[in-house]
Amino acid sequence: MAEPRSYPQELLIDDKLYHYARVLKDDFFSINLLYQNVEGEGYVLKLSDFRFVGGWIFRPLACLISHHEYRVYQRVANLEGIPTLGPRWGWRGYFHRYIEGKTLHEVTPHGELPENFFDRLKNVIQAVHARKVFYVDLNKQGNVICSTEGDPYLIDFQISLAFPIGAGWWERRLNPIFNRLIQEDLYHLYKHKKSFQLQQMTEEELQLAKRSKLNERYSRYFSRPYLRVKRLLYPHGSNEIIWYKWKKMKDKSIQMP
Ligand SMILES: Nc1ncnc2c1ncn2[C@@H]1O[C@H](COP(=O)(O)OP(=O)(O)O)[C@@H](O)[C@H]1O
Ligand SMILES: [Mg+2]
């Protein structure tokens, strides 16, 4: 848990009072806290931090990451399928609307998602692309929410890339690179559709759900070596699982005489 003094217990947003309710996610790199008002409306406070021993040394980096995410968010904030953006909190935090629902991580594969869920999610992703943002992190199921009304939402712009907007020489040069990169977002979209709604995949979508050469190279030269090193340290588990294990060990040591 973050130190209680590093986040507010209550605060006003648009003249409405919100109270701290609970932690939504807490891992090595950030903490997401839910705030609610009496009407049941919620905001999420996302605080960037390096939450391991000596992590405070990297606070300036956490500050840059948080500002980067906020800037990307500002570019896409008023789009359908993106939670409305709230105010910043200090150097390393910002608020955005809480979406009541389930992330793809929490959805059981069969039946829970509306039939047109991925078509609508594709519209959200394409609207993000139209603002010249390469989303990047779509392989994570925790970044896609199906609201209780069945609407798709995209969150977490921490590692997204906002390309320059305009028709100048520099922008024209970057366009082909941007157009190539955004295909990777669509690859992840169809990969998710394949695991949740295989029966509804068209032939073309099945083709698009295949790894591209670029993705294969990324996996070979970056992702797999990284996983190999990580597995030397921790044989199993994602960053989240490792964080929870580490927290338990720490709790035990606190109880020791
Ligand atoms: N606006 C939101 N509405 C609902 N849940 C959210 C929201 N923002 C974050 N969460 C919850 O917190 C988790 C982590 O948020 P995310 O922005 O993806 O942070 P991280 O960078 O740690 O992955 C999400 O998977 C989701 O469960
Ligand atoms: Mg995330």
- Look up the domain containing 125 and give its range: 102-220
The arithmetic mean of pLDDT across residues 161-177, rounded, is 93
Is 157 inside any structural domain? Answer: yes
In a domain, 93, yes or no: yes
Residue 138 near residue 175, CB atoms below 8 Å = no
Look at residue 248 in the predicted model and tell me its pLDDT.
62
Residue 76 contacts residue 94 (beta carbons within 8 Å): no
Span from the CA of 104 to the centroid of ligand 2 (angstroms): 11
Handedness of CA 185, 187, 191, 197 (dihedral sign): positive
For the beta carbon of residue 5, count every other beta carbon within 10 angstroms: 7
Residue 246, in any domain of the structure: no
Q: What is the pLDDT of residues 141-155, one digit of tens each?
A: 999 999 999 999 999
Å from CA of 56 to ligand 1 middle? 22
Confidence at 256, pLDDT banded by 50, 70, 90: very low
From the CB of residue 95, how many other CB atoms can be counted at a distance below 10 Å? 23
pLDDT for 257 equals: 33
Q: Please check whether residue 128 lies inside any domain of the structure.
A: yes
Residue 250: is its pLDDT beyond 80? no
Residue type, 184: E
Could you tell which of 24, 238, 239 is best to mutate to test the pocket of ligand 1, judged by most ligand atoms within 8 Å of the CB? 24
pLDDT digits (tens, 9 = 90+) for 21-32: 999 998 888 899
Cα angle 113-118-124, degrees, rounded to a multiple of 5:
120
60 and 20, same structural domain? yes
Is 233 part of any domain?
no
**Is 226 within the bounds of a domain?**
no
Q: How confident is the model at residue 52 (pLDDT cuts 50, 70, 90)?
A: confident
Residue 41 C-alpha to ligand 2 middle, in angstroms? 21
> Which element (helix H / strand E) includes 47?
strand 42-48
Q: Note whether 93 and 25 are same-domain residues.
A: yes
Is residue 126 classed as helix, strand or coil in its secondary structure? helix
**Ligand 1 atom, smallest distance to 101 CA:** 4
Q: What CA–CA distance (Å, rounded) separates 69 from 91?
A: 12
115 CB-contact burial (10 Å; exposed 0-12 / middle 13-18 / buried 19+): exposed
pLDDT > 70 in the chain, percent: 87
Measuring from each residue's beta carbon to the nearest atom of ligand 1, which residues come in under 6 Å? 24-25, 27, 30, 32, 44, 46, 83, 96-99, 103, 142-143, 145, 155-156, 158
Residue range 9-22, pLDDT digits in tens: 999 999 999 999 99
Q: How far apart are CA 226 and CA 64, in angstroms?
A: 24
Summarised one tens digit per residue, pLDDT across range 58-79 is 889 999 999 999 999 999 989 9
Sign, Cα dihedral of 18, 21, 23, 24 = negative
> Helices 117-130 and 169-197 sit at what angle, rounded to 10 degrees?
170
Mean pLDDT for 28-46 is 95
% of residues, the chain, pLDDT over 90: 69
Structure tokens, 19? 């109270």
- Ligand 1, residues 66, 156, 157: which to mutate, most atoms within 8 A of Cβ? 156
Rg (C-alpha) for the chain, rounded Å, is 20
Q: Residue type at 167?
A: A
Q: What is the CATH number of the domain that holds 215?
A: 1.10.510.10
- Structure confidence by residue, pLDDT tens digits, 178-196: 999 999 999 999 999 999 9
Residue bearing the bigger pLDDT, 206 or 2: 206
Q: Which two tokens stand for residue 169?
A: 């020489």
Domain count, the chain: 2
- Reported as a single tens digit per residue, the pLDDT across 103-120 is 999 998 677 899 999 999
* Residue 246, pLDDT score: 63
For residue 111, what pLDDT is reported? 76
Which ligand 1 atom lies nearest to the CA of residue 30? Answer: 22
How much helix, strand and coil, in percent to the nearest 5, is found in the chain?
A: 45, 20, 35
Of residues 255 and 124, the one with the higher pLDDT is: 124
> Do 110 and 206 fall into the same domain?
yes
The model scores a pTM over 0.95: no
The answer to whether residues 59 and 37 belong to one domain is: yes
pLDDT in tens, 189-216: 999 999 999 999 999 999 999 987 777 7
Distance (Å) of CA 67 to CA 48, 82, 210, 223: 10, 18, 34, 26
Tell me, what DSSP letter sits at residue 28?
S
Cα 143 to ligand 1 centroid, rounded to whole Å: 7
Of the listed ranges 97-101, 169-173, 239-243, the least confidently predicted one is 239-243
What CATH code is carried by the domain that includes residue 43?
3.30.200.20
